[in-house]
Amino acid sequence: MSAGMPGLGLGGFFFVLSALAAPLLELPRLIRGESSARAWREIARNVLLSLMIVAMVDLALRAVFLFAWLLGDASPDRLDDLTVLPLGPATATLCLLAVVLAVAKLAQLGFRSFDLAGARRERRRRLVHGPSCPCCTD
């Protein structure tokens, strides 16, 4: 079993995409005057870290392809392939991440509606029986 390369799994994709989207999500708060310098420092730190992850993955893949070329496993005209990240596995991971996030959001909405129904029942019980009804206490 292989642990894989850091930054290429679900957690890595989620972090990189979240970090790169954070400045866009913080802009409305900045316009409303609700943002802070501390928040922007954290965002800048995460954006830089995510860009470093992307750069290191690209560098690692280039090194592997260059090493294969030096060993004679690749032709010289394939050196142009050194600049291309493998899109197949990245797309599959991105699709899996989208499914996981969609299921989590649907579960959150389902639990919220279930919780709202329980809150409505509790409110109705208190209206009918009162807050300290002996027959309704646990």
- As a dihedral over the C-alpha atoms of residue 92, residue 96, residue 102, residue 104, rounded to 10 degrees, the angle is -160
Q: Are residues 79 and 104 in the same domain?
A: no
Q: Are residues 64 and 100 in the same domain?
A: no
Q: Are residues 26 and 68 in the same domain?
A: yes
Residue 40 CA to chain centroid, in angstroms?
19
Tell me which residue of 24, 23, 64 sits closest to 47, measured CA to CA. Answer: 23
Could you read off the pLDDT of 86-112 as tens digits, one per residue?
667 777 777 888 888 899 888 888 777
Could you read off the pLDDT of 32-49 as tens digits, one per residue?
999 899 999 999 999 999
Q: Are residues 105 and 78 in the same domain?
A: no
pLDDT recorded at residue 2: 47
pLDDT recorded at residue 61: 77
Least confident of 13-22, 49-58, 67-76, 94-103: 67-76
Domain of residue 116, residue span: 86-129
